[in-house]
Amino acid sequence: IGVLTERMFKYLRKYFAIHLFGHSQRRARLVSKDGRCNIEFGNVEAQSRLFFFVDIWTTVLDLKWRYKMTIFIAVFLGSWFFFGLLWYAVAYIHKDLPEFHPSSNHTPCVDNINGLTSAFLFSLETQVTIGYGYRCVTEQCGTAIFLLVFQSILGVIINAFMCGAILAKISRPKKRAKTITFSKNAVISKRGGKLCLLIRVANLRKSLLIGSHIYGKLLRTTVTPEGETIILDQVDINFVIDAGNENLFFISPLTIYHVIDHNSPFFHMAPENILQQDFELVVFLEGTVESTSATCQARTSYIPEEVLWGYGFAPMVSKTKEGKYRVDFHNFGKTVAVDTPHCALCLYNEKDAKARLKRGYDNPNFVLAEVSETDDTKM
């Protein structure tokens, strides 16, 4: 009963700490769990903002869907109305409108344009090549012929740009990265006799990522020997699997790990001080999409509260009686407590102590003295 009561109070304390004080104690993170970057640019010069319009294609692709569709509709409606005004101006100048009471033998530039509405309809039919046949350009006006050619060419350009932007945004490889998921938590436990930081990653599609590799960056605030404070100092974190970190065979969920050795920034961390650390571990997975040959990148991040010391991931791959391999995603982010050293330094000291017990040591002060037999010892 005492154990259950203690666990209940521990759970309640953790629950209230997260839900009541979590918003005030929540750490700022550069990369969210779904890979979006949390950064804001301030005091950008107006001249620098013009560069976004120079690279208009990338700017349009990066727009959100609501802005993109607004621009899409506005460009088409604007071009149809603009050329509708021009067709109305041609008819007005040539006095083709009914208000001028043209004679019976008068040949208009465009047949059956009776006002601004019919001019707009003719502009729409011309640009989208509908061609109902009721309104058409005659050979009477060279201006009308030139305007017809100009609108047809400009309409093709607008269609190509806007439809291409929609198609390019739909087929962007960043959407493929949404089907690559990382475990919610990272764990620290022993693997292969070494203390490691482990993360689980899975590909939710059956199509493979070709030439995929994984790496990490540890973001933290450091102070240089010169006294300079670097807010987002980046440290390389090498992640591997048993086969390495290049050209992963990403057909089933993988458990990647980082060996905590003397060169690791986690070497001097322990369970009691890891929550007091100020860092963010960003993990990147890059690969080529098999179906489109486009390169995509999936990323996530872990803060100290999401690194569990003394835990390991539950197994999730099994083999059925029919000989098929089955992946149980119920255990994808499930962790279990395992026996783990208190710190990496403790593990290395333990290994050194065991190694010294197995080795013998020479005593340089030891001298073997020969003792000669005396007469008393002789029989």
Residue range 186-235, pLDDT digits in tens: 999 988 888 899 999 988 887 788 888 889 999 988 888 888 888 888 99
Helix (H, G, I), strand (E, B) or coil at 39: coil
Helix (H, G, I), strand (E, B) or coil at 312: strand
- Residue ranges, comma separated, of all CATH 1.10.287.70 domains in the chain are 49-171
Q: Which of 112, 123, 250, 116 is nearest to 179 (CA)?
A: 250
Burial class (CB in 10 A: 0-12, 13-18, 19+), 176: buried
Adjacency order of strands within the sheet including 279-289: 229-237, 209-223, 279-289, 295-302
Predicted local confidence at residue 170, as pLDDT: 83
- Residue ranges, comma separated, of all CATH 2.60.40.1400 domains in the chain are 176-358
Predicted local confidence at residue 221, as pLDDT: 86
Residue range 243-260, pLDDT digits in tens: 555 667 778 888 889 999
Report the topology of domain 49-171: Helix Hairpins (1.10.287)
Predicted local confidence at residue 356, as pLDDT: 57
- Right CATH for 176-358 from 3.40.50.1100, 2.60.40.1400, 2.60.40.1730, 3.90.1150.10: 2.60.40.1400
Residue range 310-320, pLDDT digits in tens: 999 998 888 88
Predicted local confidence at residue 222, as pLDDT: 86
Q: With a cut of 50, list the residues of the chain below it in pLDDT.
A: 3, 17-24, 377-379
